[in-house]
Structure 1
Amino acid sequence: MNAFEKLMNNNLFFLNRSDHLRLRKLALPAFSPRIMNQMKERFAVLVKERFDEIGSPETFNFAKEVAEIIPVQAIASLVGIPREKFPIFDSLAYGIVRGINPMLSPEEREDAIKGIPEGIDLLNSLINEKRNNLSDDFLSTLIAAEEDGKKLSNWEMCALIGSVLGAGSDTAVDLHTYLIKALLNHPDEFEKLKNNPELTQNAISETLRCESSGKTGLARYASEDIQLRDIEIKKGQMIQLITSTAGKDPNIYKNPEKFDIERDQDKSISFGQGPHYCIGVTLVRSQTEVMLKELLERFPNLSLGEKINYDYSHHNARRITELEIKTGI
C-alpha cells in the first residue's frame, strides 16, 4: 500500500460510521471558531503578500493569481508549515486532489501522487516536533485531543489534514472565483456589499446556493424500499444526490434564480448536515472573507474583464480557469 492509498484508507470521507464519528469528535476542537479567529491575522498576511506580488495591473487573472493559490496556503498556515516548505505542501495537496480523480489512467495517477511521500514526511516531522512544544494552535489541539484515553495517531492526523486538503482546497478555489464572478455580474448586490461589509458571510452563502460549482452528487444507498413520487427505489440501490439542486428549490427559496446577498440562509445545506456537516466550514469562510476584504481595499472599482474560461473536463466541478478582472486603476 502506497502513501496515497494509506491516506485514503484513513480519510474522513471513506471511514465507517464509528471511526468517522470518533475522528470527527477528536478533531472538532482544532477547527473551533476560536482557533480560526486566531488564524485570520495569518490569512491576512498571506493575502496581502499575494496582492503585493500581483501589484497594480490594469487586468489580471483572478482564478490563476488568487483563487488557485490562497486556499492551499491558508491550510498550510493553519497546520504550521514553514513558508520555505510551502512547495512541498503544495505538492501534497496537488497529489491528493488530482489523485482522487477517477478519470485518470494508472500512469497519470502515479505521476500525480509522486509528491505525497515527501509531504507526509514533512507532516510527521512537524507533528513530532510539536509534541514536545504544545501551544494552543491547530496542530497542538489535534495532538492533545483525547477520548477514553485514546489519541489520534500520526497517520490519523496526516489523513485528517489530507481530508481538509482534498475537500477544502479545491472547493475553496471554486468558491473564490464564483463569489467574485457573482458579485461583479450583479452590480447592485456588489454595491450593497461594499456599503455593508457585514453581509460578507451571507454573500458567501448565497454564492454557494445560487452559483454552485459542483457537478457531481453524493453516492448513498437506500436502507429500505422508498417511493419518491412516481419513482420506486429498492433497498440497496445507489442514489446520486445532487445537493446543489436544493439551492434552487422554489418551495424553499423565493425567486431562487435571483442572486440576493440578503437572502435568509437558515435552510442552506451547502456545507452538509448532521454528522457530516463540513468540519472546515469556518476555515473556508474565514479565508474567503479575508481575501474579499483585501481585494476590495486594493481595487474598489474592479469589474469583470472579457475573458472567462472553464475546464469542462474537470471531474467534479465547473472549474473556472480564467477570470479576467479589470482593476479600475
Structure 2
Amino acid sequence: MSRQPVLLPYADPAFVADPFPLYRRLREDGPVRRAVLAGGLDAWLVTRYEDGLAALSDPRLSSDVRDASDPRLIQQLPRFERESMMSNMLRSDPPDHTRLRRLVSKAFTARRVAELGPRIQEITDRLLDAVAPAGRADLVADLALPLPVTVICELLGVPVDDRHAFQRWTDAMLVRGEGLPDPAAVDEAWQRMHAYVTAHLDAKRAHPGDDLLSALITAHDEEQRLNRDELIAMTFLLLVAGYVTTVNLIGGGIAALLAHPAQLTLLREHPDLLPDAIEEFLRYDGPVSPGIARFAREDVDIAGVTVPRGATVLIASAIADRDPARFPDPDRLDITRRDNGHLAFGHGIHYCLGAPLARLEGRIAVGTVLRRLPDLALAVSPAELDWRPGGLRGPARLPVTFTPGGRAG
C-alpha cells in the first residue's frame, strides 16, 4: 500500500463530474488507503466491498465525531452544530442510538411507507403536469427536489410553503468543496434552521396533529425518552436527511439512464425492471460519495492494515460498490443486475432508516417520467452537466427535452 496520502481533487471539474477513474485506481492500490479530504482532513479509505461491509458493523468504529483524535473535525463544525446538534442518530452509538432509532422506526416500516404510495404518485403527477406541456424541464428543480421535500414535510407536519427557506439553509450547511466554507455563513444557516425547528416544535406542542413530530414531542413531554436537544436534533435530521439523498437518487438515476440509451429503452419496454433499476442506480452512482465516516475507538486491523485509535475511517461505499470481486463488470450500468447488495444505504445498525421511502419515491418518480415524457433527452451535452462537488453526489441541474404532453389522466 502506498504511504503517501492521496488528495481527493474536489477543485478539479473532471473529478467532480466523474470520480470513478480515480476511485478505481485507489481500490486497485490497496484495500485501505490514506487520503486527504476537503479542508485538509486526513482519513483512511476502505475501498473494497467485503472490508467495507465488515467495517460498517464493527463496534470498534464509532459514529460519534468526539471519538476522533483530530481536533479539526470538531473545530470545523459550525459552532451552533457543536453546541446544539450532536444528539442525533447519525452521530450516536448504542445505547443512545438504539433508543433514538426505536422512536422513529415505526414511521418507516415497509407497510407504513407503502401506504404513502398514492400520495407520492399524486405529488409526482402534479409536478409533471406543470412542465409536460412545455416540452422541456429541469428534472432536479422541477421534480427530484420538490417531490421528496413535499413528502417529508407532510410526514413531519411541516408547512410545505416553508421548504424554500430550509432548503437554502440546508444548502449552506452541507456545502462541500476543495476548501472550507465561510464559517460565519454556515453558522448563520445553522442558527436559522435551529430557530425554525424550535418554533415549529413549539407550535406542534400547542396544536399537535397526526404526524411524526407530534409523536416525538409526546415522547419528550410525557414519556421522557427524548431530552430537548435530542428532540431538536432528531427533527433537524429527519427534515434534512429525509430529502437530500433522495434528490440525488432521482436526479442521478435519470441522468444515468440518459447516458445509457439502451438501458433507457429497456426500462421503457420492461417497467417491471424498475425496482432492479433503482438498486442499480444506487450501486452504480449512489447519492453519497465517497462514503460513510467512522472513528476508531482503538487500533483496528482492516484488511491487514492497522488503523490507529482516533483515526477517521471513510468506508468508501461509492468505491466498494464498483469492486469487481463483488460485482461482475462493475463499471457497466445494468438494470437487470441481480444480487445487488450495494452499500449505498450503509449496513448494520446505522442502515438508512429512510431506505424504503427513498426507494418508493425513486420508483414512482423515474417510472412516471418514463411513462409521461416521451422522447426524453438531455438538453445539454453530458459534459455540461453540473455535479455537486463532494459528500453528497448528484446533478445540480438536469435540463431535458421531451415531446410535450398533457396532464395525467
TM-score, length of structure 1 as denominator length:
0.84
Deviation at 1:153, TM superposition (A): 5.2
Aligned residues: 320
Find the counterpart in structure 1 of residue 337 from structure 2: 263
Instruction: Tell me the CA shift for residue 199 of structure 1.
Output: 2.0
- For the 8 Å contact 2:386–2:397, the answer to whether it is kept is no
Match of 1:320 in 2: 395
Query: Hey, what's the Cα distance between the residues in 2 that align with 1:93 and 1:123?
Result: 18
* Structure 1 residue 306 corresponds to structure 2 residue 384: no
For residue 37 of structure 1, give the secondary structure of its aligned residue in structure 2. helix
| Number of the residue aligned with 2:111 | 34
Q: Distance in 2 between matches of 1:216 and 1:167?
A: 17
Unaligned runs of 5+ in 1: none
Describe the SS at the equivalent of 1:272: coil
Aligned to 2:192: 115
- The more displaced of 121-130 and 62-71 is 121-130
What corresponds to 2:89 in structure 1?
12
Distance 1:119 1:138, change over 3 A: closer
Q: CA deviation at 1:259?
A: 0.9
Q: Once the 2 structures are TM-superposed, how far is the Cα of residue 10 of structure 1 from its aligned partner?
A: 2.1
Q: Which secondary structure state, in structure 1, belongs to the residue aligned with residue 391 of structure 2? A: coil
Task: Give the CA deviation at 1:213.
Answer: 4.3
Report the AA paired with residue 67 of structure 1.
A
> Could you say if the C-alpha distance between residues 111 and 250 of structure 1 is closer, same or farther in structure 2, counting changes exceeding 3 Å?
same
* Residue 107 of structure 1, CA deviation: 2.0
1:29 is paired with a residue whose SS is helix
Closer, same or farther: CA 139–67 of 1 in aligned 2, 3 Å: same
The 10-residue stretch of structure 1 (57-66 or 272-281) with the greater mean CA deviation from structure 2? 57-66
Offset at 1:260?
Answer: 1.0
- Counterpart for residue 239 of structure 1: 313
Q: 1:226 to 1:325 in 2, by over 3 A?
A: same
Structure 1 residues 24-55: Cα deviation after superposition (integer angstroms, max 9, x where no partner): 11211111122212222222222222122224
Question: By how many angstroms is 1:284 displaced?
Answer: 1.0
1:179–1:204 Cα contact (<8 Å) kept:
yes
- Is residue 95 from structure 1 mapped to residue 192 from structure 2 by the alignment? no
Query: Is the alpha carbon distance of 1:315 and 1:8 closer, same or farther for their aligned partners in structure 2, counting shifts above 3 Å?
Result: farther
Query: Which residue in 2 is equivalent to 1:126?
Result: 204
What does 1:1-329 correspond to in 2, within 5 Å? 8-83=85-160, 86-87=161-162, 89-101=163-175, 103-113=180-190, 115-116=192-193, 117-130=195-208, 135=210, 138-139=212-213, 142=216, 150-152=224-226, 156-222=230-296, 223-226=298-301, 228-229=303-304, 231-308=305-382, 309-311=384-386, 314-329=389-404
Q: What is the rounded CA distance, in whole Å, between the counterparts of 2:228 and 2:118 in structure 1?
A: 28
Aligned alpha-carbon RMSD (Å): 3.0
**Other-structure match for 2:6:** none
Q: Supply the distance in 1 between the matched residues of 2:99 and 2:171 (Cα, whole angstroms).
A: 24
**Per the alignment, do residues 272 and 114 of structure 1 end up closer, same or farther by CA in structure 2, a change over 3 Å counting?**
same
Do the aligned residues in 2 keep the contact of 1:42 with 1:77 (CA within 8 Å)? no
Change (3 A) 1:123 1:36: farther
SS in 2 for 1:322: coil
What is the CA–CA distance in structure 1 between the aligned matches of 2:186 and 2:370, rounded to whole Å? Answer: 39
SS of residue in 1 equivalent to 2:399: strand
The letter of the residue matching 2:303 is L
> Once structures 1 and 2 are overlaid, which stretch shifts more, 180-189 or 161-170?
161-170
Which amino acid in structure 1 is aligned with residue 87 of structure 2? Answer: N
TM-score (structure 2 length as normaliser) = 0.69
Distance 1:2 1:219 in 2: 20
Q: Secondary structure at the match of 1:189?
A: helix
